[in-house]
């Protein structure tokens, strides 16, 4: 079996342009070879000194088109740079989370005075509990839907009559 790099398929001779090999990468970018696989008659005449102008037409043929399962150099560099920025952002977020976790661990939510000499262990009465008894607990779903229906663009939402 011949090596793939040395294999050059025969192309039809009717074409008047130089055929270059084309590589299609996974990112759908295309790269054409610098040197043609087959030289057209116009270019061969120019090389022989018979023709006045070189062939400037670049064309690829399906028989010499390769699909590369990797990304092109530009996209690989962009992906590497983006991955590096994501790693930096993740480490920064993890550091901030650790700082917040440490600071919230030291914060006391509310001060409760307890008599140390008291013989009975009763829970202290908090002022907030009285307000909870007066104000009824709202249903979160109903409250969410009420706020969404009150929005200025509620006519665009498909919420229906949920309330």
Question: What are the pLDDT digits (tens) for 95-124?
Answer: 888 888 777 765 444 556 666 665 555 555
Strand order through the sheet with 58-67: 30-32, 18-24, 58-67
| 60 and 80 housed in the same domain | no
Q: Is residue 41 predicted with pLDDT exceeding 70?
A: yes
Mean pLDDT of 1-10: 49
Kindly calculate the radius of gyration of the chain based on its CA atoms and give it in whole angstroms. 37
Distance CA 59, CA 19 (A): 5
In this structure, the answer to whether residues 65 and 89 fall within a common structural domain is no
Residues 22 and 64 in one domain: yes
Do 66 and 23 lie in a common domain?
Answer: yes
Residue 65 and residue 30 in one domain: yes
Does 64 fall in a domain? Answer: yes
Write b or e for each residue in 28-67: b if 16 or more Cβ atoms lie within 10 A of its Cβ, otherwise e. eeeeeeeebbbebebbebbeeeeeeeebeeebbbeebeee
Range of the domain at 93: 73-103
Average per-residue pLDDT in the chain? 76
Asked whether residue 61 is assigned to any structural domain, the reply reads yes
Region 82-95 average pLDDT: 94
Q: Give CA–CA dist 162/123, Å, rounded.
A: 41
CA distances from 63 to 16, 52, 57, 103, 160 (A): 17, 30, 18, 66, 58
Same-domain check for residues 60 and 83 = no
Residue 130, pLDDT score:
53
Same domain, yes or no, for 52 and 84? Answer: no
Q: Is residue 146 part of a domain?
A: no
Please give the Cα distance from 59 to 55 (Å, whole number): 11
> What is the tally of structural domains in the chain?
2
pLDDT at site 1: 42
């Amino acid at each position: 079996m011949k090596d793939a790099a040395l294999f050059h398929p025969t192309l039809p001779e009717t074409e008047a342009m130089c055929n270059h090999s084309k590589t299609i990468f996974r990112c759908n970018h295309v790269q054409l070879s610098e040197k043609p696989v087959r030289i057209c008659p116009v270019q061969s005449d120019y090389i022989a000194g018979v023709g006045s102008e070189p062939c400037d037409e670049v064309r690829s043929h399906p028989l010499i088109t390769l699909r590369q399962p990797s990304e092109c150099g530009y996209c690989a560099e962009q992906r590497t740079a983006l991955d590096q920025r994501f790693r930096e952002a993740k480490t920064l977020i993890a550091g901030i989370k650790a700082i917040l976790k440490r600071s919230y661990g030291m914060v006391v939510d509310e001060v409760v005075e307890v008599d140390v000499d008291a013989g009975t262990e009763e829970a202290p009465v908090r002022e907030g509990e009285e307000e909870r008894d007066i104000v009824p607990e709202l249903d979160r779903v109903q409250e969410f839907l009420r706020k969404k229906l009150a929005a200025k663009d509620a006519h665009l939402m498909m919420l229906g009559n949920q309330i």
